[in-house]
Structure 1
């Protein structure tokens, strides 16, 4: 099937548009960490990292990395003026206590009711523990997914039911894939925006879940 997908950076920039001014946000390990480099300069957005940072800035310039200043994925980061450090336990209390407005997580699978599987494929040598993803999935007020729509083998990551170990149940509010922006609603999956040059018919053909199309301009609900 012939269509163009959004690049990872273009998808990160698209998500960054929807993060509102004043939000406290956690960007999960993997693809979501790219979002920090596209946050609008005219918005005050407070980035949290589960290893004990609040007020995290973009990646440092090459050669100016501080090995003691990293995010949860062990990537070098910067700290904005007013940023702070705190104990790992306090960081998890923020996550579990509902103090984060938004969390953006990667995904292996998302079910049509918003279940998330993002920590293990169940294969030998897989990551041995869920880490903080489970706490973020149930603790953040709004949980978003950033993912490629299809695996390298061409299988859709949006499925009727997750076959991989779950991170959270009915926890996802919106899916940003490299093909579409999709809301998880009580009535099912609603496509708000097509990305790249895919058509409604093509998107439905590659997605094994019924989709409703209610396209709109870049709107954050």
Structure 2
């Protein structure tokens, strides 16, 4: 059973972002997408701490300690980039100005509900940040995550059991095994990686998956 790396998942997401899109990359693995965006199109990356026009991660030795994303990782700024107040940044997020946001997840339900800020465990540290604002404000929500949690349980579920970030907000899920679309009839397999099959994915997730051929 083949799994692809997070870097390869990031490349797959980058290939699906259209020219001219305004995009927010969530904290953690989604920030990798910035390193794989095509050079021949223009995509505007937004970070919620107040930057529009974010570039890829800087090379070693060229890090500006004052230039970071919302996850406190060093980033670059492209020519024409704009800096603004945190409140203005959240206004962009909440006002429907972002075409796509890419977020991590603990669970995604077959209805497109997202849980990504807390497992609800007594010792869990809540870290919602701007995820709720992004989930409700972006025109499309892409999720980047492993298909299985460290415990071996599927992150794709019939209904979320963790505290929700957003209801019916997720449109597509990119995992290390396959890409899934959220449809009115549940999850639809959009793309398979390596030797994975729909039957294998159904066994891993315990779900009936829609499938009508790869795109």
TM-score by length of 1: 0.95
- Structure 2 distance, partners of 1:120, 1:128, is 5
Runs of 4+ that moved beyond 3 A: none
**Does the 8 A contact of 2:94 with 2:137 survive in 1?**
yes
Aligned residue number for residue 102 of structure 1: 100
CA distances 1:99-147 after superposition (whole Å, capped 9, x unpaired): 0000000000000101000011112342334110000001000001000
Moved more, 77-86 or 205-214: 205-214
Give secondary structure in 2 for the equivalent of 1:20. coil
Q: 5+ residue gaps in structure 1? A: none
Q: In angstroms, what is the RMSD of aligned CA positions?
A: 1.0
1:22 to 12, 20, 23: 20
- Structure 2 distance, partners of 1:111, 1:83, is 36
Aligned residue number for residue 70 of structure 1: 68
Aligned residue number for residue 151 of structure 1: 149
2:5 to 4, 7, 11: 7
- Structure 1 distance, partners of 2:194, 2:21, is 28
Give secondary structure in 1 for the equivalent of 2:210. strand
**Does the 8 A contact of 1:112 with 1:209 survive in 2?**
no
Aligned residue number for residue 120 of structure 1: 118
- Structure 2 distance, partners of 1:5, 1:33, is 20
- Structure 1 distance, partners of 2:126, 2:146, is 23
- Structure 2 distance, partners of 1:136, 1:150, is 24
- Structure 1 distance, partners of 2:170, 2:140, is 8
TM-score by length of 2: 0.97
Give runs of aligned pairs for residues 153-168 of structure 1, distance below 5 A. 153-168=151-166
